[in-house]
Amino acid sequence: MMGSQPTLRERQRSETRRAIQRHAVRLFTRRGYDTVTVADVAEAAGVSAMTVYRHFPTKEDLVLMEQPAQVIAELVAASPATDPLVRRVGGALVDAAAVLTGGQGAEPAVDEPFLLDCLRLMTSTPALRARHLDSQYALQQAIVGALAIDTADPDAHFGAQAATGACLAAMHTALTHWAEGNGKTGLPELIARALAATFGGTATHA
């Protein structure tokens, strides 16, 4: 979805946030998540600890990425309402991966090595795995909301929750495989393969 252009202050805030996160992930990767403090991150980024906390309320938030959830929800909302739920969600997951990693010749929205480092940290660090589960639940709710299912129909809402949860489980398997393989296979392809293994040909665009 196209919105209004960000203001200078918003751009500066985003740049500061990205810089802090990149320094944090670099330190976590080199020295270990548990040994690095927020003060260490602040010093590396050249800001105060208060500034870090203003952008990232918890240490775990430094490794999480908000952009994928926003992209996925927008793609789901824009998908044809007449398509099967798993195709609307699955197609959005594949397309979002292409947007973020530069698949299908697109300009990548996220630096791939940085994304790989984030994924490795989330899968190898117990505190981050727990936080990742929280973010996955929030993503599931965002997707279900974007599907615009009639909330007065409990069966339809349950079906949307189930379809979304299954698609996200397939995506998680693809993300883990992608990180373990150091990104050698394109992420959109891996997600499409995981969805096909789960649902056959019904979860992605023809």
Query: Which secondary structure element, helix H or strand E, spans residue 182, and what is its range?
Result: none
pTM of the model as a whole: 0.84
- Which residue numbers in the chain have pLDDT < 50? 1-3
Place of tokens 């976590």: 28
* Residue 1: predicted pLDDT: 42
* Residue 152: predicted pLDDT: 86
State the Cα–Cα distance between residues 146 and 76, nearest whole angstrom. 6
Q: Which residues contact 68 (CB under 8 A, 6 or more apart)?
A: 96, 100, 139
* Residue 132: predicted pLDDT: 85
State the Cα–Cα distance between residues 118 and 110, nearest whole angstrom. 11
* Residue 16: predicted pLDDT: 94
State the Cα–Cα distance between residues 157 and 121, nearest whole angstrom. 33
* Residue 109: predicted pLDDT: 67
* Residue 105: predicted pLDDT: 54
Place of tokens 């393969």: 193
* Residue 2: predicted pLDDT: 45
Q: Quick one: the chain helix, strand, coil %, rounded to 5?
A: 75, 0, 25
